[in-house]
């Protein structure tokens, strides 16, 4: 039986006064959510698995509320879209969910003037059969570990992310760039958003990592990969990653979700088979 083993964890870090991150883990077939037996172990091919990470922004402007609205709206919209009958409907449901989340945060800010400026990133994954779809707005990230290689699936919607993508900066230079925290996109900021959807065919042994930048800020990808290789169990891996981010200074809230794909039925990777990423950007209002 092919299955995904899941876990998620969030920590306030060492500097922030409150946690503005939020995550959601759910079994879309049953509607069950949270870290429960029916969500942390799911059989592939029967239903749809949801993993989402939101990193709120705005401080006093209620980034914690924005991330919570984002995660709640993501879950509720996807549940109202079921059953998801094919790959096209999965992607359509994801786009509907992120558009609904953007509207919900904008509406909340309009009705609460003191919260103007609130917003959140969103990185959400749906597992449909043996296929993985990751949607992204902002600079939270999705990675896939295959063998001993770690591939960043998402593109950072930030000034630094754009400069790295265009070749103006290397990833190493981007870590110390002055404006590395300036986002080009977030939910709840503008009526129009341009989410990216990434599609990957899963292989046996693949490990998905979803995280806020509280992990990728203090830890380099090489260190993240080292810990993922050392701790195969998702529960221990989530704990090791969050604790390492805090040990490195914990400058921000840190949230991680890890999904390990195992069992019969999944195609075995051929040698050092690279992760084949198909991506598309969409404009929504």
Query: pLDDT by residue (tens digit) across 188-238?
Result: 999 999 999 999 999 999 999 999 999 999 999 999 999 999 999 999 999
279 φ/ψ angles, rounded to the nearest 5 degrees: -130, 150
Predicted pLDDT at 183: 84
What's the mean pLDDT when you consider all of the chain? Answer: 92
Question: Nearest-CA neighbor of 145 among 225, 222, 220, 212?
Answer: 225
Say how far apart CA 280 and CA 242 lie, in whole Å: 30
Predicted pLDDT at 214: 95
Predicted pLDDT at 60: 61
Q: Residue 85: which pLDDT band, with cuts at 50, 70 and 90?
A: confident
147-192: pLDDT as tens digits: 999 999 999 987 776 776 767 776 766 666 666 677 889 999 999 9
Higher pLDDT, 153 or 271: 153
Say how far apart CA 39 and CA 25 lie, in whole Å: 7
Show contacts of 33-39: CB within 8 Å, 24+ apart. 33/75, 35/7, 35/8, 39/6
User: Is 207 in contact with 285 (CB distance < 8 Å)?
Assistant: no
21-35: pLDDT as tens digits: 999 999 999 999 999
Say how far apart CA 208 and CA 6 lie, in whole Å: 9
Predicted pLDDT at 32: 96
Predicted pLDDT at 113: 85
45-76: pLDDT as tens digits: 888 999 999 999 976 679 999 999 999 999 99
Say how far apart CA 61 and CA 67 lie, in whole Å: 12
Domain ranges, ordered by start, for the chain: 3-149+185-266
- CATH for 3-149+185-266? 3.60.40.10
Average confidence (pLDDT) over 107-133: 94
pTM: 0.94
């Amino acid at each position: 039986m092919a299955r995904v083993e899941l876990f998620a964890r969030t920590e306030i870090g060492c500097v922030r006064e409150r946690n503005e991150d939020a995550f959601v883990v759910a079994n879309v077939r049953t509607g069950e959510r949270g870290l429960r037996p029916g969500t942390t172990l799911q059989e592939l091919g029967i239903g749809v698995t949801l993993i989402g990470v939101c990193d709120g922004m705005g401080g006093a402007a209620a980034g914690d509320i924005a991330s919570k609205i984002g995660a709640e709206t993501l879950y509720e919209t996807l549940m109202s879209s079921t059953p998801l009958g094919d790959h096209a409907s999965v992607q359509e449901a994801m786009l509907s969910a992120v558009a609904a989340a953007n509207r919900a945060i904008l509406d909340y800010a309009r009705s609460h003037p003191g919260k103007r400026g609130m917003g959140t990133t969103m990185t959400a994954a749906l597992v449909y059969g043996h296929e993985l779809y990751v949607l992204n707005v902002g600079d939270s990230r999705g990675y896939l570990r295959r063998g001993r290689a770690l591939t960043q699936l998402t593109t950072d919607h930030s000034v630094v992310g754009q400069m790295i993508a265009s070749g103006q900066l290397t990833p190493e230079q981007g870590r110390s760039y002055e404006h590395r925290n300036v986002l080009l996109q977030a939910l709840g900021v503008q009526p129009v958003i341009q989410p990216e959807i990434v599609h990957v065919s899963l292989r046996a042994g693949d490990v998905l990592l979803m995280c806020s930048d509280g992990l990728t800020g203090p830890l380099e990808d090489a260190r993240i990969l080292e810990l993922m290789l050392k701790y195969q169990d998702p529960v221990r891996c989530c704990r090791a990653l969050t604790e390492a981010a805090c040990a490195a200074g914990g400058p921000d809230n840190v949230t991680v979700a890890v999904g390990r794909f195992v069992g019969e039925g999944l195609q075995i990777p051929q040698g050092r088979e690279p992760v084949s990423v198909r991506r598309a950007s969409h404009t929504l209002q």
